[in-house]
Amino acid sequence: MSAVVETSADTGLMRVASQKISRLMDLVGELSLSVSETVQSADLAGLDLTRFDASAHRLAMIVREVQDAATELRLVPVDDVFRRLRRMMRELERQTGKQIEMVIEGEDTAIDKLVSDRLYDPLLHVLRNSADHGLELAEERLANGKTAAGRITLAAAQVGSEVRITVTDDGRGLSRDRILKKARERGLFGPDEEPEPAMLWKVIFEPGFSTAEDVTNLSGRGVGMDVLHTTMASLRGRIGVDSTPGQGTKVTLHIPVSLAFLDCIILRKGARLYAIPIDMISEIGKATEGDLPAISADGGRELFRLRGTYIPVCRLERFYGETTAAAALAEGTVMVVFNTAAGPTAMPVDEILDRQQVVMKPLAGRLATLRASWGFAILGTGEVALVLDCERLGAGGAV
């Protein structure tokens, strides 16, 4: 870690090694924990602390501001990535022989540097897909009453705690028949199943899935989607696809603004604390009479009635193989419902404690094998909660 600091008097900008900023973030985290430990020290119990309390309050305010400022240091505009992609687009124009007009919007949108560093490959893949499969050749476009040049819009916008990056083309749109046929061949849907459009479109991003009639060196070989999948999974992102025949396709990448802080619901199950990213949770409710039917078949499958439909129940203690014969769930049990690719799943918990912005720590060393988790969340109280990866709980836990 050398001191890579170049100052420029003209712009007032400074280059700082990202490890230094990470170190600062760690220290700020420790600082805020230390402050709360000091202020809440048991030694102070029973003392008259009017002036101390006022100073402590001011201290807490400053610490919070320092925390915000440190977080902001890591945010960079998506502009850098977008500019590299624009250059790549000229290359794509040449290779496909199509005229492409590229529009860029929201390039000022700020995103965590760690995220920005990893966006190029997945976005390039989506753009290639649009240029290669989405856009038609000039003659076909003119025949359909469109402009000769195809248009691809690359846009970024912050919505709440996530950044949405969309790639929209005005091409021919996705072919439901062809994709459904292919998906059925691959066993992703049953022969009579008619999936919702949003569910169906998503399969085009399944690794190895390609309906392209001819394989070009650009795309159509189904590779590269792996890059998109793994990158999005490690960035805790989601992919959405929308398409209208003849009018085009829109691919949206939902990515959290900052990887350092995560907006979570903190809950307790047994003696353990867990955190679930808030955007995974669709609702939280209490089980009432008849919501939890007793089923002995199929190894005691558990279901939860959510507005008339029965959805699978995932019990953490079963998922982690700690118990197989747990007592039946009682009425009044708090159920957290989260959405996964496999559909909604309900998870019984003992108590919902709080909603807070947590600092994330990855699983390292001996803990790397811990299943269905993104890492640890350090809570404001100094306690540690395991952050659950609901997608994997839904896939492996919906027994």
Partner 1 sequence: MTDQLTEMTRSRAEGLPFTDTDNVDDMYLTFALDSEEYGVGIGQVTEIVGMQRIMAIPDMPAYIKGVINLRGKVIPLMDVRLRFDMPQREYDDRTVIIVMEVADAPIGLIVDGVREVLEIPPAQVDRPSQFGKSTGRNVIAGIGRIAERVAILLDASVLVSETDLGGVTDAIAAA
| Contact stretch for partner 1 (CB under 8 A) within 67-75, 154-162, 255-263, 359-367 | 359-367
| Residue that the structure tokens 């009432």 belong to | 288
Neighbouring CB atoms inside 10 A of 255's CB total: 25
Smallest gap from Cβ 374 to partner 1, in A, equals 13
Which one of residues 179, 228, 359, 390 is an interface residue with partner 1 (CB under 8 A)?
359
Q: Residue 183's beta-bridge partner residues?
A: none
Query: Is residue 365 near partner 1 by the rule CB under 8 A?
Result: yes
> For partner 1, which is the closer residue by CB, 270 or 293?
270
Binding segment for partner 1 (CB under 8 A), chosen from 97-105, 255-263, 270-278, 338-346, is 270-278
Q: Name the minimum Å distance from CB 375 to partner 1.
A: 8
Length in residues, the chain: 399
Using CB under 8 A as the binding rule, whether residue 64 contacts partner 1 is answered as: no
Q: How far is the CB of 230 from partner 1 (least distance, A)?
A: 22
383 binds partner 1 (CB under 8 A): yes
Determine which helix (DSSP H) or strand (DSSP E) holds 378, and give its type and residue range. Answer: strand 373-378
> Contact, 358 vs 275, CB < 8 A?
yes
Nearer to partner 1, 199 or 395 (CB): 395
Q: Which of 352, 344, 325 is nearest to 393 (CA)?
A: 344
- The answer to whether residue 396 forms part of the interface with partner 1 (CB under 8 A) is no
The residues in 309-328 that bind partner 1, with binding defined as CB under 8 A, are: 316-317, 320-322
For the bound state, the minimum distance from the C-beta of residue 261 to partner 1, rounded and expressed in Å, comes to: 14
SS3 at position 179: helix
Question: In angstroms, what is the C-alpha Rg of the chain?
Answer: 25
351 binds partner 1 (CB under 8 A): no
Closest to partner 1 by CB, 24 or 199: 24
Q: Which part of the chain contacts partner 1 (CB under 8 A), choosing from 249-257, 278-286, 345-353, 356-364?
A: 356-364
Please report, as residue ranges, which positions from 166 to 185 form the binding site for partner 1 (by CB under 8 A). none
Q: 124-157 burial string, b = 16+ CB within 10 Å, else e? A: bbbbbbbbbbbbbebeebeeeebeeebbbbbbbe
User: Whose structure tokens read 């989506």?
Assistant: 126
Is 271 an interacting residue with respect to partner 1 (CB under 8 A)?
Answer: yes
Q: Which is nearest to 348 in space by CA: 304, 395, 381, 295?
A: 304
Interatomic CA distance for residues 74 and 333, integer angstroms: 41
Give how far the C-alpha of residue 367 lies from the chain's centroid of Cα atoms, to the nearest Å: 22
> C-beta of 71: minimal distance to partner 1 in Å?
15
* Minimum distance from residue 384 beta carbon to partner 1 (Å): 5
- Under the binding rule (CB under 8 A), the answer on residue 366 touching partner 1 is yes
Contact yes or no for 351/268 (Cβ under 8 A): yes
Residue 268 touches partner 1, criterion: CB under 8 A: no
From 72, 83, 371, 396, residue interacting with partner 1 (rule: CB under 8 A): 371
Stretch in the footprint of partner 1 (CB under 8 A) among 153-161, 191-199, 280-288, 378-386? 378-386
Distance from C-alpha of 154 to C-alpha of 169, rounded to nearest angstrom: 9
Using rule CB under 8 A, residue 23 touches partner 1: no
Q: Give the torsion through C-alpha atoms of 188, 194, 200, 204, to 10 deg.
A: 50
Distance in angstroms (rounded) separating the CA atoms of residues 33 and 63: 10
Q: Among 384, 392, 395, 399, indicate the residue that binds partner 1 (CB under 8 A).
A: 384
Backbone CA torsion sign across 115, 119, 120, 122: positive
- What are the backbone dihedrals phi and psi of residue 340, each rounded to the nearest 5 degrees, phi first? -130, 170
Please identify, using beta-carbon distances, which residue of 12 and 365 lies nearer to partner 1.
365
- Binding of partner 1 by 33 (CB under 8 A): yes
* Residue 26 CB-density burial (10 A; 0-12 exposed, 13-18 middle, 19+ buried): middle
Q: Which is nearer to partner 1, 63 or 306 (CB)?
A: 63
Residues that bind partner 1 (CB under 8 A): 26, 29-30, 33, 270-273, 316-317, 320-322, 359, 361, 364-367, 369-371, 376, 378, 382-386
